[in-house]
Amino acid sequence: MKAPTLAPCLGVRDTRATVDFYEKLGFTALPAGDDPDDDLRILLFKDEFALMVHRDEQLREWLPVLKNTPVGAFGMFYLAVDDFDAYVERIRPLVTVQKDVMELGGRKLFYFSDLNGYVIGVNQLTG
């Protein structure tokens, strides 16, 4: 797995519940290291790095500057998929829709939030 240039690491309330949620959406979770007490997980999408999730308490301990930052902080992430329509149809019953399918500049977009309040925008993967 090639490490990305920018690797998002999201603070989450419950790592196991978050991993379960993303696995239902087609992601695969891996432990980030050998420390059994570390609750950091790497999430892959189609065998490529997508993001990391880390229990909020551990992340705030690791970086005290984050101690007052709420889970689900302002911002969003984009997920590019091979078959937009099929993927949206599959995940729609599993997610909280924030903005239904729309077209902008010839591209379809769909926005949902995960169980921690992070907003994910789905778009068609382009070559």
Q: How far apart are CA 40 and CA 43, in angstroms?
A: 10
Choose the weakest-confidence range: 24-28, 57-61, 93-97, 109-113.
Answer: 57-61
Assigned domain for 3 exists: no
Please tell me the total count of domains within the chain: 1
Residues near 55 by beta carbon (within 8 Å), at least 6 away in sequence = 11, 12, 13, 14, 15, 39
User: What range does the domain containing 29 cover?
Assistant: 9-124
**pTM of the full structure:** 0.77
Helices (H), 5-125: 15-24, 56-62, 84-91
Assigned domain for 50 exists: yes
Q: How far apart are CA 59 and CA 115, in angstroms?
A: 18
> Using one digit for the tens of pLDDT, what is the confidence trace for 47-103?
999 998 989 888 888 878 778 888 876 667 889 999 999 999 999 999 999 999 999
Residue percentage of the chain with pLDDT more than 90: 49
The CATH number given to whatever domain includes residue 37 is 3.10.180.10
